[in-house]
Structure 1
Amino acid sequence: MVGDRNWAVRIYPNGYKAPGYVSVYLILDSADAKDVKAKFTFSLLDKGGEPVPSCIKTVTEHIFPSKGYGYGFPEFIKQEDLERSAHLRGDSFRIRCDVAVVKMIRSQETHANEFVVVPPSDLHQQLGGLLRSNDGADVTFRVGGDIFSAHRSVLAARSPVFKAELFGDMREKAGDPIEIDDIEADVFNSLLHFIYTDSLPESTNEGATQDDVVTASHLLVAADRYGIERLKLICEEKLCNNIDCNMVATSLALAEQHSCDGLKEACFEFLASPSNLEMVITSDGYQHLKSSCPSVLKELIARLLPAELTAARDIIRSM
């Protein structure tokens, strides 16, 4: 019960008028209710019970006219994306629904407030426009032959590393482009886009392609380098949702080198399947993992040993 009204959540695992998707709806379930105004959010929860950022859908305000009326998201999440994700455990998943009923409090002094509509924030759009226009830009970067212009104050506000660099030693070289040698130009462009808009550039592809996953790997490295934690977590989540035999060894090495505990656990869970492990061992990525991160391989082997071989597991971990 919310706002003196009964509510129900209806979930369609095979989609409602949306084949290939999981659909979710909020239903008004009070017989005497009419024209109830509510705002609500559906969130897919990870194994720790926290909302998954890419699977949060919100309705800012909607009117439910009578009992049995439902409103929601026919395309809440693709079935294949859910099935590949680390959030589906034992053929089950968790969804949270937050509901707030909107009530108008009226008085002689304040009744005119119902005529004032406050629009949602468009700060991200304005800052994105600032990046595109280069108005007032006071720092430039040379990345792979491309030149990028930006604003020192914005970069410093969003990244502790940029703050130390741009207002430290590099400040004296304000007129020269700053050379960035170990990041690709398209990755740096996505990094700047996130810094200004708190979002990634929209992809033109349906779902995540192999190139998108590789780009997420490179962007995770860049986010870790510049201390942009939210971007790092977004990339980590994308990699968790797209683990396969071709990418798991690379993702596991990345998780070990950049302290991505969630990605590491998702890779271990994938490799717990003997068939997956057998395919990965024959891949080039496994040889890279073996040479670059031998410690994580020891941890994997120790986890795969039967529980009764505790002593052997401890010996392997200490090697």
Structure 2
Amino acid sequence: MVLFTGNEWVIDCYPRDTRQEWSSCTSFLVRLHGEYKAVNPTISLSLMKRDGTTSTLSHQYRLKGEEEEKLRHAIQNSPFERQVFAYGDYSNLLSAEDIINNGSFELICTIDNTDIPHSRCSLGVPKSFDLHSHIGKLLESSETADATFRVENRSFVCHRLILAARSPVFKAMLFGNMAEATQQEIKIADMCPEVFEVMLHFIYTDFVPSCNSEMASTKFIQQLFVASDRYAIEGLKSLCENKLCAHISLDTVTATLALALQHNSPHLKNACLDFIAEPGTLISWTLSDEYVNLVRSFPSIIAEIRGKVDTAPSFKNVKLQKI
């Protein structure tokens, strides 16, 4: 309900139109509520799309006189005589992927009245809703925490439900038949506390916190990439992949390629292979000890590297070193 021009306006939503032949339509009425002053508004209705543009509803009316009578036939059994000022419907709204966002939509109603600037009111979920900030505060305060993780010499208190919702691995660990489901303190091996801390922050907030120079290093991001894959946190894994792709060098490409192969990352693997196939890189790389170690661990990678360089004229006469 919105107060405008000294009147209370109501937007009624009918998810399914009462007419059988229009049963896939979602309809809206814009009407005055209770006692009201005389108004002569122009009202328009539109739906906000996920890309920020609007989609105009069909069958919009600025109702007066005979049009008000037509409206009572458009929506059967409407009890709001002489109160309805606009009507609009949208076919198949409930399945419109460009409009429905997380089960919600936003309806824009613009009311123009003589000598009064237009007003915009929305029906739906507010755009800025700071959910991650509120959940992140739970991590900071430890309020209602029900699990403790021990990583080397540090302890982290967490919420089982939040971890389970964000990671299928944590879900199986904390609510399945694994021993951790009943443990008060859960030990995490093969991970440094700083990596676990950043991973927790992402689980609670969907963001990676600001890092110092050491935590922004390629080595740290590689460790975070391994941790995100270990606990199947796909959003964090994707962020790490993009970061590692942007910092591939002759010094890092072997370790990064090995991680891509170990943790099933085609995107990261292809970025490494593209770098290796650049002129001036392949020869230097194949002469390194890192190349020898990589090929011994992943002998099939030679065929993939060859596939990348065979189409480059600069490498027609280059033979990859066999181990």
Q: CA deviation at 1:173?
A: 2.8
Listed one character per residue, the Cα deviations across residues 176-229 of structure 1 (whole Å, up to 9, x for unaligned) are x11111111111111100000001011355xxx795222111111111111111
State the superposition RMSD in angstroms: 3.4
**SS of equivalent residue, structure 1 residue 141:** strand
Q: CA deviation at 1:114?
A: 5.0
Aligned to 1:184: 192
How far apart, in 1, do the equivalents of 2:278 and 2:230 lie? 33
Say which is worse superposed, 279-288 or 129-138, in terms of deviation: 279-288
- TM-score normalised to the size of structure 2? 0.57
How far apart, in 2, do the equivalents of 1:285 and 1:210 lie? 24
How far apart, in 2, do the equivalents of 1:144 and 1:283 lie? 34
The sequence identity of aligned pairs, in percent, is 41
Q: Does 1:124 align with 2:132?
A: yes
Change (3 A) 1:158 1:124: same
Q: CA deviation at 1:174?
A: 3.0
**SS of equivalent residue, structure 2 residue 156:** strand
Query: For the Cα contact (< 8 Å) 1:138–1:152, is it kept in 2?
Result: yes
Aligned to 1:296: 301
Q: Which amino acid aligns with 2:245?
A: C
Change (3 A) 1:260 1:306: same
Change (3 A) 1:142 1:210: closer
Listed one character per residue, the Cα deviations across residues 53-87 of structure 1 (whole Å, up to 9, x for unaligned) are xxxxx999xxxxxxxxxxxxxxxxxxxxxxxxxxx
How far apart, in 2, do the equivalents of 1:210 and 1:287 lie? 29
Q: CA deviation at 1:262?
A: 1.0
Q: CA deviation at 1:103?
A: 7.9
Quick one: higher RCO (CA 8 Å, sep 6+), 1 or 2? 1
Query: For the Cα contact (< 8 Å) 1:247–1:285, is it kept in 2?
Result: no
Give the alignment partner of residue 170 of structure 1, picking from 179, 183, 205.
179
Aligned to 1:238: 243
Change (3 A) 1:105 1:148: same
How far apart, in 1, do the equivalents of 2:181 and 2:126 lie? 44
Q: Which amino acid aligns with 2:157?
A: S
Q: CA deviation at 1:107?
A: 5.6
Query: For the Cα contact (< 8 Å) 1:165–1:171, is it kept in 2?
Result: yes
Q: Which amino acid aligns with 2:303?
A: K
Aligned to 1:267: 272
Q: List gaps (5 residues or longer) in structure 2.
A: 1-47, 54-106, 314-319
How far apart, in 2, do the equivalents of 1:140 and 1:210 lie? 23
Query: For the Cα contact (< 8 Å) 2:199–2:228, is it kept in 1?
Result: yes
Q: CA deviation at 1:167?
A: 0.6
- TM-score normalised to the size of structure 1? 0.57
How far apart, in 1, do the equivalents of 2:257 and 2:167 lie? 26
Matched ranges for 1:301-312 at <5 A:
301-305=306-310
How far apart, in 2, do the equivalents of 1:118 and 1:257 lie? 42
Q: List gaps (5 residues or longer) in structure 1.
A: 1-38, 42-57, 61-101, 309-315
Query: For the Cα contact (< 8 Å) 1:246–1:280, is it kept in 2?
Result: no
Query: For the Cα contact (< 8 Å) 1:246–1:285, is it kept in 2?
Result: no
Listed one character per residue, the Cα deviations across residues 237-261 of structure 1 (whole Å, up to 9, x for unaligned) are 1111111111111111111111111
Query: For the Cα contact (< 8 Å) 2:110–2:120, is it kept in 1?
Result: no
Question: How many residues get paired?
Answer: 208
Listed one character per residue, the Cα deviations across residues 248-303 of structure 1 (whole Å, up to 9, x for unaligned) are 11111111111111111111111112311223234443243223222223321343
Q: Which amino acid aligns with 1:196?
A: Y
Aligned to 1:311: none
Q: Which amino acid aligns with 1:272?
A: A
